[in-house]
Each structure stands twice: as C-alpha cells, then as structure tokens.
Chains A and B, each alone.
Chain A
Amino acid sequence: MILRLIERTGVFLVSLAVSSILVFAFMAVLPGDPARVALGVNASDEAVAELRRQFGLDRPLPTQYFDWLGGLLHGDLGTSYVSKVAIGPQVFDRLQVTLWLVVAGMIIALVVAAPAGTVMAARHRKISGLALSAFSQAGVAVPAFLAGILLIVVFAVRLGWLPANGWTPPAQDPTMFLKQLILPALSLGLVQGAVLTRYVRSAVLDVLREDYLRTARAKGLRPFQALWRHGLRNAAVPVVTVLGLQLATLLIGAVVVERVFVIPGLGSLLLDGVSNRDLLLVQDVVMVLVLAVLLVNFLVDLLYVALDPRLRTA
C-alpha cells in the first residue's frame, strides 16, 4: 500500500514536471514577441530590446524556464507583460470562482447520474428504464454552452426566476451568489450528468450480474438492499474513473460557460489573456489548469485504493 502511494506520487510529480516543460515550450515557440506587443508596432528597436531585458526574455530559454518554475513553486506567478500587474493574486481569485462552478456542476452531475443510472440498470427491461435511457442519450448530445443558452432563455428570460448572468462572491451576498450559481452550474452539470448516467448504468448492470449479489440475496437481503450494501462500493470503482476524467472536461467546459454567463472565472481570464496576447498570463493559467487535472487524477488513484481492498496488496 505504501509502495503504491509512493508510486502514484512519483507518477504525479513526473507528469507535472513534463507538462510544465510542454506548456513552457509551447508558449516559447509561439510567434509574436511580448515586448513588441506591449509597446506597439511603432516602438523603436532599442525600446523593445530594453523591455525584453526587463522581462528577462533575452536570457537563454532553460534559464527562463527554471526561473518561471522556481516562481511557481513559491507561489509567484510573475508579472503580466501587458498590464504590469502581479498574476498570482488574479489567478487565485479567479480560480476560486471557477472551483465553485466546477464543484457545483460535479455535484449536480452526480446527484442526477447516481439515482438515474441505478434506476436505468435495475429497470433496464422496463419502459421507465428505457425512457430514462433515451433522455440521457439526448442529454449527451447537447453541448454545455447550448444548454446554458437554453437555460437562460427559459429560466431567466421567459420565467424571470433567476438572473441571466453575473457573479457575486458568497461572502458578500450568499443568496445572490446561489441564484447566480444555479444556471451556469446546471448547464455544466446536466450535460456531464447525462454522460455519467450512462457509466453508472453500465457499472450497476455489471454489479447486478455478480455472484456476490446473489449471495447477498440468499442471505435475506431484498434486491435494493443487496445493491445498496454490496453493489454500491463495487460499482463506484469504474464510476470514479469517469468522474476524474469528467472533472477535466468540466474545467474546459467552464471556460465556455463563464463566457456565456459573464462570470469572472479562470476561463474568462484565460480568454482575456489570449486576446491581449498576455503570454505569461496564458502560460500560468494553462499550468494551473494542468495542475488541477493532474491533481484530480492523483486523487482518483488514491480513491481506488480506498474503495477496493484488492489494490492494497498489489
């Protein structure tokens, strides 16, 4: 078990190091000089060279990389080439917003998928199960931004129940925060929920066929009790895998949904950075997203071990 923990930690750290090199290298080969962008096309070559020196862009690439990486490790994300503002606090603020959105979306997806998938599996030969299947199939086909626009049209424009956009920090006004969170979280969560439902369904179907579930019923458990006590944890293993992958998808989905709902999250920051050619900002945001995805995968690996005792001795 300790060995596995060390192994997974190792994998996490190595992939983190490799992806930081990739992110840095990708940004380095992109055409366009940040100093030239900052000063405009009319600036003199001397001024550009002077700014390059200030940014440290005249140093060799490996030096720049290790400088950047060292900063990251200390929580210093550098200063924007464009706005001359420290990037760290911005990313941190925006990350909190996006995390709310992603976590709320994930909870909605789970709350939808776990019962729906289980019912679909338990009633896979009955009309109710088939109807749910068709419904989730349709859900899979809808992109998050379209779901978002539809939700705005119905709940904000037609019914007027919820605000169409905006963001209020929870500490400032909890009610408003929740009201504004609901629609974007739904548009992220419902689509992911539809996808997750399919996986929950097949995981539960597999478990229903297991011998130990028959043993559980032979003991005197009713079908649902047997599934709850003996099936849940076993079915959770494949579902957790998908959940980990979906969190990555949700982060990406958040970039788009934040635009639709005008939410100042990491996604908006990234898009702003791209349109302003703020290369260091983009590089930092991408790295934070990569870190989040890798961290989730690492946690999923640990969760496996918690769920399945067979992995503890292996």
Chain B
Amino acid sequence: MNDVLTVRGLSVTVRDTALVSDVDLTVGAGERVGLIGESGSGKSLTALSILGLLPEDVRAGGSVRLDGVDHELVGADERRMSRVRGRDIAMVFQEPMTALNPTMRIGDQLAEAMLIHKTLAKPAARTAAADLLDRVQLPAETLRAYPHQLSGGQRQRVVLALALANDPALLICDEPTTALDVTVQALVLDLIVRGVVDRSSALLFITHDLAVVATVCERVLVMYGGRVVEAGPVAEVFTRPRHRYTEGLLAASDLETTSRRLTTIPGNVPPAGRFPSGCVFRTRCAHATALCEETPPWTGSETAGFACHHPAGVGND
C-alpha cells in the first residue's frame, strides 16, 4: 500500500523550546488515522507543520513527504507550498464561526478554492460549488448567503466542502466538532467520513474525544508532551492500551466504570517546553521508576507500538 503522508522525526520549536519532538507518522491511502491527546500535547502543531501554516517564529524540523509531491514539505517556500495546500492537503479547523471571510458570499469562497488551483474554469466552478454544498447537505441557496447568515454547524459544513473541493489526497481535521452543539456533531462527523470515503481521501483526525476517534478512525496515535507515545489500530489501543498514559486517558473517559468517582490522571499537563527529560509522562505516572529518566525506546512496528519502560498488559500489575 502506498503511504499518502510520511512524517519522519518531526520537531516543532519556538525559539529554543521544543514543543513537538521526534514525531513519526504515516497515513496510508484512504486510511483514517486519529491523533489524540490532551490540550498542549502538540496535536495541532503537528497538523499545522504538515500544512506549513505554523505561526511566525514557530519552526518545524524533520521531514514531511506527501505522495505525488516531489519535494520536502518542511521548509518548502510559499510558492511551492501554496500549490500543495488546498489541492493535495486540505484542512478543517476547529472554530467554524471565524473560519470564513465575513464579507464574501459562500459561493464565491467555494468557487475560489477550485479557481486558485485551476482545477475548473469559472462557470464550471460555480456549478461545482453548488454540487459541493449538496454533498454536505446544504441547499443551493447557501451559495448566495454570507457566513453570518449560517449557524456554526452549517458554517463547518461549508468549511468541509471548501476543504474537499479539489478531492485532496489527505484531509486534516483539527477538532472539527469541538465547537459545535452535540446535536450537530454526529452529522458533521458523518459528513466528514462520507466525504473522505467517497473521494478515497486519507484522513488525519485530531481530537481529544476518544469516542469520536472510535467511530471515525481505523488507526490511532496517542500524543503526550509533544511525542507520540503509542500507536495502533483503534480496537487494539482502546481495549489493550500499553502506554501508561493511554491507560490513564481511557480510564478517565470510561463511562461504564463501576465506581462512582471520576477517574482522572493525577497532575496537569506541564506548560509547553517544561516536560521532563526521559519519559515525558513520568512526573504523572504511578509506575515511574529511575529507569524512566531515560527516553523509552519505541517497541513494536511503526504503525502499532508504544514507548514505555513499564507497559501495561504484561501481567506485572
């Protein structure tokens, strides 16, 4: 199988502070991969560095390659990156209320996505825009609407239609339903999955919501402290977690727990760049020993493995 996205040794730094370190990540063609972790774990920065849209003075290192693009994406100039963005990789952001230009009609914003990459000529782009809206279940009148006339859920569907306009090889969604009402979350998730399946696009789905990952993704990567700590098929990772952080995360979101008390992971996520050396989770981990001061090696294959000195599920606890 041809991998659409191959990330090797990705790091993100702001001045001298490392925010993301040594992230390896591959997404196969048409594969749906989840990226989970608490706020501040580096999920969004990973996504933004793939797209080359990091904020000023935040720098990415390492390697990001996309199938069918013959150059390295990390450090590529704007001219080359702008050809990749919106055509090969597209992104749906977290906040739909501010993601669209308030002074431009929806139809023009949609058509522009196709006109930029010259995938369609002007009259055809108009028709295609109506078709894109139809595929996210919005009426054709939406073409004439301005963003402020739509609800948050409707706007996010427009953003999704925008991202899928040029049938990208990879769609990145960064917490696309977090800002939405619970009632419209399911619809938007359904449209995302249907959108990528229809186009055989791959999906990199970022969220902190484990239930969402379970319904949307086939494979999952768990991030903590700017590192990938565990990876594997969703069913595998969620039923038999190996990394102690994954274990804690699952316990914290377990709704069928018999005890009445909410289980939490002790302590807080340290501020950016203040994670401990060695295993990034050791300051909050009940199983940590002196050994954890060394960075734990990756155990297993790249698509299914973990980085923990004292993994769960080996019968020693």
Contacts and interface: CB of A to CB of B under 8 A. Distances in A.
**Chains A and B belong together in one complex:** yes
Interface of A: 125, 210-212, 214-223, 229-230, 233-234, 307-310, 313
B162 A219 contact: yes
Contacts of A220: 82-87, 113, 116-117
Interface residues of B, number: 33
Contacts of A222: 78-79, 82
B306 interface: no
B86 A219 contact: yes
Contact of B51 (A212, A218, A233, A310): A218
Contacts of A218: 51, 53, 85-86, 90-91, 93, 163
User: Most chain-A CB neighbours within 10 Å: which of B51, B95, B104?
Assistant: B104
Interface string B59-94: 000000000000000000011001111110011010
Contacts, number: 75
21 contacts: A211-B98, A212-B100, A215-B100, A215-B162, A216-B101, A217-B53, A218-B90, A218-B93, A219-B90, A219-B113, A219-B116, A220-B85, A220-B86, A220-B87, A222-B82, A223-B78, A230-B101, A233-B103, A234-B101, A307-B103, A308-B102
B149 interface: yes
Nearest to B57: A125
B187 interface: no
The 8 closest A-B pairs by CB, nearest first: A220-B86, A211-B98, A219-B86, A309-B146, A212-B101, A233-B103, A220-B85, A220-B116
A236 B222 CA distance: 44
B237 interface: no
Nearest to A210: B98
B179 to A, nearest CB: 11
Nearest to A124: B56
A228 to B, nearest CB: 12
B87 A309 contact: no
A313 B91 contact: no
Interface string B107-120: 00000110011000
Contacts of A307: 103
Could you say which of B93, B100, B101, B117 has the most chain A C-beta atoms within 10 Å of its C-beta?
A: B101
A309 B102 contact: yes
Contacts of A309: 102-103, 146, 148
Contacts of A216: 101
Contacts of A221: 82, 116
A127 to B, nearest CB: 15
B159 interface: yes
Q: Which of B51, B82, B100, B162 has the most CB of A within 10 A?
A: B82
A211 B91 CA distance: 12
A308 B83 CA distance: 30
Given A219-B85, A220-B85, A221-B82, 6 more contacts: A212-B102, A218-B85, A219-B86, A219-B90, A220-B116, A310-B148
B186 interface: no
